[in-house]
């Protein structure tokens, strides 16, 4: 069961509200759930035109059983490492990690199902093998698990912070200091429920460490190390300190470098303890071509 405490200034149709807070579900799918009495308001059945108000509690039944199985697709994978327990992928830009309602094809999960004989089932039929996610337009390292034992151990490392993730990001403006720590809680933006923001309201602790790697005339290349793994964490935190990630269509500036196809953010390093051998393993993913080309262009401007 998923519960949502309604936060809104005025009454709003339940289907419209749920689309804004649960962007993996389409409005049609939400209406289907309502018709099947899978959604309750204050523990009572509702209709699609039922209006909810601030403080109401919406309960969504386990929808895993209603979701269709993800299908294998012959999509090439850039495999960094693979054994009987885990597979580490260098995810390309534009690839969604797992299917969601109304978007069942061309995801990393579809590719994994074609490539792998077995995947962990802890996250259900729609997210087999997925233990953590990176955004659609973020590239780089992601580890997936082939069995439940491996999944549980990697998930525990993510929780206790023994699994380390580092990113490279090109951000707007020139950061003068060499390093910093952004310790600011992240929750859903009350004015736009599809976005996250730094807030004290219904938020979770979030900590991002960053170091300056290289400075350009109007941009800075930074290395970010996550202590927590909140939704859009680096993107939100860099916006919070007035240096949003270049190309970020949600949190960044409209007028920025062209042809980035989304945020210039790359998960370049992943360190974990192997779930079976207990070996400390470090994986790295080369920068994608578009990212390297941007840096070369900026370096050329610096030397002009």
How far, in Å, CA of 74 to CA of 157, rounded?
Answer: 31
Assigned token pair, 195: 């976005």
DSSP designation for 65: G
Tokens 């192997």 correspond to what residue? 274
Q: 46-61 burial string, b = 16+ CB within 10 Å, else e? A: bebebbbeeebebebe
Phi and psi at residue 203, to the nearest 5°: -115, 170
How far, in Å, CA of 22 to CA of 27, rounded?
Answer: 10
Whether residue 14 contacts residue 48, with contact meaning beta carbons closer than 8 Å, is answered with yes
How far, in Å, CA of 128 to CA of 130, rounded?
Answer: 6
At 140, which helix (H) or strand (E)?
strand 139-145
- Residue 183 annotated as catalytic: no
How far, in Å, CA of 139 to CA of 89, rounded?
Answer: 10
How far, in Å, CA of 107 to CA of 304, rounded?
Answer: 42
Assigned token pair, 188: 């859903």
H runs (alpha helix) in the chain: 14-21, 27-35, 108-115, 148-160, 233-240, 289-303
Of 135, 137, 200, 248, which is the active-site residue? Answer: 135
Assigned token pair, 201: 């309201």
Q: Where does residue 81 rank: exposed (0-12), middle (13-18), buried (19+ CB within 10 A)?
A: middle
Assigned token pair, 176: 């003068």
How far, in Å, CA of 41 to CA of 47, rounded?
Answer: 10
Catalytic annotation, residues? 135
């Amino acid at each position: 069961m998923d519960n949502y405490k309604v936060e809104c200034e005025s009454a709003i149709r339940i289907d419209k509200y749920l689309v804004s807070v649960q962007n993996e579900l389409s409005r049609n799918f939400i209406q289907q759930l309502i018709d099947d009495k899978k959604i309750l308001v204050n523990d009572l059945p509702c209709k699609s035109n039922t209006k909810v108000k601030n403080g109401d509690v919406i309960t969504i039944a386990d929808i895993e059983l209603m979701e269709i199985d993800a299908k294998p697709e012959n999509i090439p994978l850039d495999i960094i490492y693979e054994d009987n327990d885990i597979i580490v992928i260098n995810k390309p830009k534009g690839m969604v990690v797992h299917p969601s309602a109304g978007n069942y094809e061309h995801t990393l999960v579809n590719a994994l199902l074609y490539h792998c004989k077995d995947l962990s089932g802890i996250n259900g039929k729609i997210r087999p093998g997925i233990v953590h996610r990176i955004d659609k337009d973020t590239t780089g390292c992601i580890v997936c698990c082939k069995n439940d034992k491996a999944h549980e151990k990697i998930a525990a490392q993510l929780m206790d912070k023994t699994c380390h993730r580092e990113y490279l990001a090109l951000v707007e403006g020139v950061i003068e200091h060499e390093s910093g720590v952004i310790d600011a809680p992240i929750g859903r933006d009350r004015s736009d429920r599809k976005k996250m923001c730094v807030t004290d309201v219904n938020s979770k602790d979030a900590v991002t460490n960053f170091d300056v790697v290289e400075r350009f005339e109007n941009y800075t290349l930074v290395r970010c190390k996550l202590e927590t793994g909140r939704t859009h964490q680096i993107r939100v935190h860099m916006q919070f300190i007035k240096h949003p990630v270049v190309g970020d269509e949600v949190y960044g500036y409209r007028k920025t470098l062209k042809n980035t196809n989304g945020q210039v953010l790359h998960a370049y390093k992943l360190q974990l303890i192997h779930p079976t051998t207990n070996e400390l393993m470090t994986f790295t993913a080369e920068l994608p071509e578009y990212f390297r080309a941007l840096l070369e262009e900026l370096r050329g401007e610096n030397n002009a």
